[in-house]
Amino acid sequence: MNRPIRHIAVFSGLLILALLLQTTWLQFKRTDELANHEKNTRVKIAAYAHPRGNIIVGGQPITGSVETDSTYYKYKRTFKDGAMYAPITGYSSQTYGATHLEALNNKLLSGTDDRLFLQNTLDLFTGDDRRGGDVVTTIDPKAQKAAYQGLGDRTGAVVAIDPSTGRILALASTPSYDPSVFAGSTKKDGEAWDRLQKDKRKPMDNRALKLTYAPGSTFKVITAAAALEHGLYQDINAPTKSPDPWTMPETRVPLPNQDKSAPCENASLNVAMQHSCNNVYGKVSVDLGKEKMRQTAEKFGFNDPKVDTPTRAVESVFPAEMDRPQTAMSGIGQSSVRATPLQIAMMTAAIANDGKLMKPYMVDSLRDPDLDTLEKFEPKEMSQAVSEDTAKKVQQMMEDTAEKGTGRPGRISGVTVGAKTGTAQRGVNNNLPPLAWFISYAKQGDGSPVAVAVMIDPDDSIPRDQISGGGLAGPIAKKVMQAVLKK
């Protein structure tokens, strides 16, 4: 063989080798990437070629599939009580993709999960269509309904948790949307999507998990826990050295109390909780210092960017860098302290559970089309936020607040309730309507089966003097607790 022919043969061999390597790379290394690529329409067409598995609440499906007359997509997703459950299910759209449980469990729901391989293989021989598996949630349908209907047409969020397990019993956000209206690929679906995107009230925002707010005076629960845990105070009924008015350090600005007639001067931690005394809890925060306050807040879940339910919540923040006046404001849930309603519910649940913070979760199990369990989720401890002794002292304070303080709207006859209100200022010079918060737990027998956080974001239609955590959010928390207790 002469040299030119030999060179051509070698070059051709290298080209064939490169082609084989590229094919191998595509088949084995990039298969998942290409299969899930947003422009790979064949995968999407296959996903909607048969009915999806369902998301289950209270033993019943809250999703479904319906045949369409589309050229490419045989089925589209439907949702029962879509707006009520949208913060949980998310959406599954032929055009706009999927979110939340629909996205996180897409392979199982669409029937392509590796764990369904045997089932899919048998279906090939029997001629049956591919079937998706189901996602069984922890949501209590009565509690969810109480939360959603309680919020009504107001902007806000509710999260209810079983303190002993971390099971999420309710997760509502308003205003909401029906995922069914844009589940298809028609012009009508596109118009519905565009309307939602342009809506100034932002109904597609998940306020329970994906937005943070100033927690206001609900955060005094953590400030009280920090004071007890770090030994600043031991007796919740002993007077504190807290003048009223109290001027924040390095300033000439007194920290005012909302109720000017409240007995806040040198009030005990307990009395200050009942009357939500800013002077007491602002001074406690300064006396402890930002590091001890931050350490305690982090044990309750703040500054953790990976709180998955399994839908990931955004990070709730207790800042590391603050001056002393900011530290004072942080002790009453203002300054740069930010929290999701989920985080505030976690805080409440940890106190109700004697200081033990359980990981919040809203998927109980995954099952195959024949209803056999593929995966079961068990309770997991996140941290011992505070000692049992500290938690019980804070419980006493919250129960006294519900009985004879600002938490009275949460009381339930024959049931021990612990509660705390919060009104969080917003805007430049407090020019925006304040947020209204209410947190509570209910005891029944041994321990508490439910802890609730309610946040209302009022608009200008509500007079400022009528905005309060007890007035706006308290009745909602009570109804959610009653829904769980009735079981």
Q: Is residue 248 part of a domain?
A: yes
CATH number assigned to the domain comprising residue 468: 3.40.710.10
**Is residue 267 a part of any domain in this protein?**
yes
Is residue 334 one of the residues assigned to a domain? yes
Question: For residue 287, is it within any domain?
Answer: yes
CA distance 181 to 189: 6
Q: Answer for the pair 480, 150: CB distance below 8 angstroms, yes or no.
A: yes
Per run of 10 residues, the mean pLDDT along the chain (length 487 residues) is 70 77 68 61 75 96 92 90 98 95 95 78 65 95 98 97 98 98 95 98 98 98 98 97 95 92 96 97 98 98 97 97 96 96 98 98 95 94 98 98 97 97 86 94 89 94 86 97 92
Sheet of 55-57, strands arranged across: 60-61, 55-57, 134-137, 363-367, 373-376
How many independent structural domains does the chain possess?
A: 1
* Tokens found for residue 258: 């909302």
Q: Judge whether 410 lies within some domain.
A: yes
Q: Which domain holds residue 402?
A: 216-362+381-485
pLDDT at 37: 61
Domain contains 221: yes
**Among the options 65, 92, 164, 217, which is catalytic?**
217
Residues 6+ away with beta carbon under 8 Å from 414: none
226 occurs within a structural domain: yes
d(CA 337, CA 327): 10
Query: What is the pLDDT, as a whole number, of residue 125?
Result: 63
Termini Cα distance of the chain: 88
In-domain check, residue 228: yes
pLDDT given for residue 452 in this prediction? 98
Active site residue 217: yes
Q: State pTM to two decimals.
A: 0.91
For 136-149, give the DSSP string.
Answer: EE---HHHHHHHHH
